Every structure is written in C-alpha cells, then in structure tokens.
Structure 1
C-alpha cells in the first residue's frame, strides 16, 4: 500500500491562488438536492458524452442517486471550475486533466481520496503519479495514454528493417527508410505542449530532467533529436506539426515511422489498407527503460464545505466509475489503457494492436510529478529550446542552457 502523508499547500499559480481564495472565502455552500449529484468533465464530443452518461447512470443507480453530467470544452473547464468555486457551486466530482490537478490540489480544493475510502494498492506508479500532488492521491484515473513508435509494416518489411529498439537502431532505420517524398520518421516539435510532450521520452529515457535542462543528459537528448533533422531523416517541417499533422503524414506515406499516441487509432482505422504496428519508444542503449509521459484525466472530489457526507457519496461514484471492469470497457472503446494491472492484462489480450502501450504506460510518469504547479514554466522553456535547436537558431547546448536560465529567472521572480 502506498502511504502518503498529507502536506500543506505551497505558493502556486495565480489561478490556483484564486481558487484558494474562493474555497476559503466567506459564504455558505449553496443548498443541493440530496438525491442529485453532478460530475463536470470535458466530454463534449460524441460518442464520449453518451458513454460517460451511461457510466454515470449505472453508477448512480448502484449508489442510489441521480447523476447529472456537465460537459464543457477542455480549454474552458478550468476557468469554469474557478468561477464555480467563487460561488461555492463546484460539482460533486470534477474530471480534470492530470496536468491541471496540481493547481486544484495545491489550493486545498480537493479531498484526498484515501481519506474517503479509495485505496491505491492496485495502481501502477504511473497511474499514481498522474493522480497525486506532493505525495497525496487526489485523482482516480479510469484510463491513461502515452506515446509509442508507430511504423508502416509494409515499408519496413520491404526494406528489410526491424522495428528499432535503441537510439542507434532508430537512427539507422530512419536513414534507410528515407527516400523520395518519404522521411524515415515523423514527430511533432512544436513549441507548444504537442511538441514538448513528444520530446519528453528522449529527455527522460536518457536520464534528463526538466528541472536540470542544462545537464549533459538533457543536452544529449536534444542533440539526438536535432541530429535526426540535420541528417535528413526527419523533415524540418516538424517544428510546425501537431500530433494530428504527424499522423496525417504517416497515413499519406510521407513517413515510415512516427511518434504518436493511441488516440490516433480511430483515424488510422479509417485507412484499412495501411499496415501498421506500434512498439515502445526506443531507448539510448539496450536494456535502458523507456520513460514516456503519461496522459489522461482523473476523477477528483472537490471539497464540499459543510457537506462531508456528499464528499463520501461522490467518492463512491468515483470508485464505481474506475473499477477494473469500468476501466476495461472505457479503454477498449476509447483506445486508451486501463490503470488497474488486471484490467491492463486483459486489455493486452483483447486489443493486441495497442498492447505495447500497456508496457509503455507501466514505466511512464506524469509531467507534473516533479514540477507540480510549475510545469507550464518548464514546458514553455523546453518548447523554446526545441524550436531553437531544430531551426538552427542555437546549438542544442546553448538552447538548453538558455532554457535553464529562463526557468530559474521565472521561478525566482515568483518566489
């Protein structure tokens, strides 16, 4: 069992401070119907909205309450939650992206789930990291995702190339598979989260750290990615590509391999003539561990001032929606990976084309595990360095040293 002491919140972002003031300010919580509970999420698109409502109806019936779904666009969820906090009208359950969880937890706005009966014994380290802040478990994930190396099985077979497992094998394979209009590998290298998310496996698997961007390991990771562009195996246009663009390039035959996630499966399935498979992101040396970022949303229970009984019922709903069976059902439909080991192993058998993600998720970690509420500061610095190195504006070393200096200056300004 994971034992995590509760720790007081530390100074956080302006948004989190606003949330803290809203949660600790004067005023009474609005009266609520004791038989009606609300869950707010970003499931605005179909069929996800319907799938979620079906799960909520089932769990509501099991717990003995009616559950109403409030769905808002993903980029509006946090601002809306802040407004609701200011009027003491937060939902009973709030589904937030793992990268947003720290700001709510740091503000004292979430109930530690172990205190309301949700254990952590059956969670992988990755699943625990995406739902925790400073060692306290606040968010239960139903499914998670990560990155993998997709490859065109026909192209690799024709070229006699085996799926690469190490950086050197990837370098060689990408060079051999490059020709004509086709590049060996496609990645996203935007300065935004798309590009940063895809750079993290190279950084972390090499022993680099977002908190030490100027370290030899961190610099070496950027040097490796830059070398793939400089050698011509990766298109220089990757500095402008989203992850969706990368998938389009792969489908069009303009890339023999790509780094991407299981969320691309619905689009890939629209092209049945395209033969593809996926493996883990290559590592620096054989025997190294492939460490990629873990993504996904978590169910949290906001502090319900004056109504601790509602918090416990909300936790029952969260527990119901994250059982092994619920995880397997949701992951199979949504092309993600269950977090419970037993569900993950069943998923491996039932969705074999995505089985490598089960292994990738096992060693993945949350972007905010070390950075906490300061992740955006590190992310922006990494994105800037990535662009500078890949466009030739700076050497990888200079780019990373500049990124480290930027982070230190921004953190000092806020201290």
Structure 2
C-alpha cells in the first residue's frame, strides 16, 4: 500500500501564513501543551500553526490517505516506530537539508529519528521504561530494590502476598507487550534479527518463571501498560515495569510513595538496555520547497532546547537535547534513574527499519503462546518464521 501511494505534491492551494501539524495529541493535557508551544513558535516565526490531532493508531493511515489525495499537512508527528514506513516510500524530507542540527542530540536519539542514515524525524522528548516500586511495601517486607534478574525474581516472590502480586508488567498481544519485553531481550544480548535465538528464549523463559512463581498475575497476557499502572495504584502489585507517562496519574494518589530504578539486568554490571519511545516531528515531501523550509523552521522551534524542556517538564518525558536533559535532571531529581535508562536505550527500528512491525506482530503472538503453555523455544521459532514470511 505504501509503495503504491503517490506521496508528493501539494495538490491544493494553501494559505501562505497558515501551517498545519498533524499529531496524536488527543489527550486534553497534551493537546493543550502542544497548542501552547505552537502558539509561541508561531508568534516567533510570524505564522499561524494549527494543530490537527487524531488517535495514535490512525496517524499512519490518515497520512497515507492524505498523501494519495495530495493534501498532506506541513508537519506530521509520527510514532518513531512508524516513521520508517513513510520514509521508505520517499515521503519525507531530510531535516538536515532544512537546516536542522543534531549537534546536541545523543547518537541514539538521532538514530531514533533516522532511516537508513537520513535524519527525517526530530524528537522533542523521549521515554523508556523503568522499574517503579512502592516504597512503603518494600520497606514493610524488608526487600531491597532489585538490580539483577535473580534479585527481581526473589523480591517479587517475597512481595507476593494475598491479593498483591510482586510485579506487574504488560505481556499483552499488542505493541505494549513488545515494548516491555525489549529490555529483557536486549539486556540479555538477544535482538529482533533472530527472534528464536537462545538469548531471546532465555528472556521469555524468565517471564515464564515469574508467572510460574505466582509473582505475576495470569491476566498479564491481557494487560496494557495503562492496566499495569491501575494495578499498581490499587495496591495489587508492589512493583511494575512502566514509563514516565504514568507519573501524572501516580501523583494523584497522595498516599502512594513510589520510586523508580533501572530495570534489573541478567548479571551484575550489565547495561540495562530499554526501548526508546516517543514521537518525531517530520516534514512531508509535498513538492512545495518554500513551505517545506518554513515547516523545517517550525520543527526546529518545537524541537528547540527551550521548548523541549517545557514540554518534558509538563509530560515527565526526558528532553532529547542533551543540554535540556541536564537541566531536566536538576528539576526532577526523583526521575534521575529514568534519564540513566534513556542514556542506554535504543530505537526499536534501528536494526529492522520498516521491517519492525512484522517482528513486533510475531513477538506478540509468541507471548500469548508461551505464557499460556507452549515452550518459549517453540513459540519464538514460529515467531521468527512469521517475521520472515510476513504471515
């Protein structure tokens, strides 16, 4: 579908002073923060910037439909895992040709917005996963914050009491589950290029061990990351794997004293390698070079150091710009472990590019099979076949 779509051509007359950004900021808070940032950048650049927000799952579909009718917006904010699909079809402009610099952006975050070495997407902020824990519960049970797989398994067992599980995570048949599996797969030396490799099998076996111990709820195969947060806040889990987008909700429960740490690793001293999450601002190739240049200036403003810091402090995400991230660490020291986790994180599409969705879908199916009885080895062997064949 992508290859057969004509992605260029502006197709319709546009108001020269009005520019449109399509994003997935349908949440009231995010929509408001984006509107405020666009108003500030619009005033600075002497243009009007209009926000068009659609559900995250519809951004790619809508962008393709608009491309075929030659009505693309000036800027599209894609989830970084989806951006390579649009870039592969030749639908995006190299941001460096529009004057955007990556000087203060860490290499991993540049890769996060790149496809085959070309920088198409500027991130304002990024996120990853961390281990959240209930300080009071760990203190009551006498459990230290775990740093290794062995410690996590032992701690989760001790913390599992009554209706409370030691750990909550998402292993559902959706991207949430894959996002949560990558820290275990990558930190163990496995990767998405060989889903049935021994290191990936070990990682999935570890999840199975936690489930067999009774430390995870059997419902984990159905939970989204939002469900995991609900369980943690309700006191049904002493620890959880989740991301900073939950902080605003966590802080609404004043009696909950929570902390975060890096996700435990297989062996002491190993790097905790999690997934970079978030969105990137891109400029579609509309064929109108004048508008594309102005769109590039808008992206540069929205992804600039000052706006990044404002956005990150609102959303609890980590600024993509290294200088802004340093200030962010000082302003929110309670999330310092998250910044450390981001430093070692990597993009899901770094190795497979536009092939990531096939691997993700295959892994989703493997979780459902392995966590409900099938061996990890058999489930992942089938996953590799599916990822390779596309079926």
| TM-score clears 0.5 | yes
TM-score by length of 1: 0.91
User: Larger deviation: 271-280 or 57-66?
Assistant: 57-66
In structure 2, the residue matched to 1:127 is: 109
- SS across alignment from 1:118: coil
State the shift of 1:33 in Å. Answer: 2.0
Normalising by structure 2, we get a TM-score of 0.97
Structure 1: runs of 5 or more not aligned: 1-13
Structure 1 stretch 28-37 or stretch 362-371: which is displaced more? Answer: 28-37
**Alpha-carbon separation, structure 2, partners of 1:350 and 1:55:** 20
Q: Is 1:320 matched up with 2:287?
A: no
What is the alpha-carbon distance in structure 2 between the residues aligned to residue 214 and residue 131 of structure 1?
Answer: 28
Give the Cα separation in 1 of the matches to 2:55 and 2:140: 44
Where does residue 263 of structure 2 map in the other structure? Answer: 281
Structure 2 distance, partners of 1:245, 1:28, is 42
What is the aligned partner in structure 1 of residue 118 from structure 2?
A: 136
- Structure 2: give runs of 5+ residues left out of the alignment: none
Aligned to 1:341: 322
The match for 1:380 is 361
| Alignment equivalent of 2:284, drawn from 289, 302, 308 | 302
Matched residues in 1 for 2:384 and 2:30: separation? 40
Separation in 2 of the partners of 1:387 and 1:42? 28
1: distance between equivalents of 2:276 and 2:227?
21
Question: Which position in structure 1 is the counterpart of 2:347?
Answer: 366
Aligned partners of 1:191 and 1:341: how far apart in 2? 34
**Partners of 1:226 and 1:194 in 2: how far apart?**
18
Q: How far off is 1:301 after superposition?
A: 0.6
Q: 1:127·1:339 contact (CA, 8 Å) conserved in 2?
A: yes
CA distance in 2, matches of 1:138, 1:350: 30
Q: Matched residues in 1 for 2:219 and 2:32: separation?
A: 38
Of stretches 65-74 and 107-116 in structure 1, the one that deviates more from structure 2 is 65-74
Q: Partner of 2:79 in structure 1?
A: 97
Aligned length: 391
In the TM superposition, what is the alpha-carbon distance from 1:30 to its structure 2 partner?
A: 2.0
Question: What is the CA-CA distance between 1:89 and the residue it aligns to?
Answer: 1.6
SS in 2 for 1:114: helix
Say which of 394, 399, 403 aligns to 2:379.
Answer: 399
**Counterpart secondary structure, 1:76:** helix
Alignment of 1:14-413 (within 5 A): 14=1, 16-18=2-4, 21-23=5-7, 29-305=11-287, 307-392=288-373, 394-410=374-390
Following superposition, the deviation at residue 23 of structure 1 comes to: 2.1
Q: In structure 1, how many angstroms separate the alpha carbons of the residues matched to 2:254 and 2:281? A: 35
Q: Which moved more, 1:159-168 or 1:79-88?
A: 79-88
Q: CA deviation at 1:227?
A: 0.6
Say if 2:80 and 2:280, in contact at 8 Å, map to a contact too: yes
After TM superposition, the runs of 4+ consecutive aligned structure 1 residues lying more than 4 A away are: none
CA contact (8 A) 2:348 2:356 kept: yes
Whether contact under 8 Å (1:243, 1:260) holds in the other structure is yes
**Which secondary structure does the structure 2 equivalent of 1:67 belong to?**
strand
